Amino acid sequence: MNLSIEEVAAISQQSAAGIEETAASSEQASSSMEEVAKSSNELAILAEQLNELMQQFKL
């Protein structure tokens, strides 16, 4: 295996691009999870409010 400097540099650049893409995907996934958590908390608040309103209709 005798790789030239250009080939090693190309492989390194491809690896760096792959790492950057993975980091961007991880950041996007983290952002999505934060949004899901926020929505979940909002839904829990709405459910509690609905539960309180439903208490008014119990006999």
Alpha helices in the chain (DSSP H): 5-55
Q: pLDDT of 2-24, one tens digit each? A: 679 889 899 999 999 999 999 99
Name the residue ranges covered by the structural domains of the chain: 1-59
Distance of CA 24 to the CA centre of its chain: 10
Is the pTM here over 0.75, yes or no?
no
Q: pLDDT of 23-51, one tens digit each? A: 999 999 999 999 999 999 999 999 999 99
Question: Whole-angstrom Cα distance, residue 3 to residue 9?
Answer: 10
In this prediction, residue 1 carries a pLDDT of 58
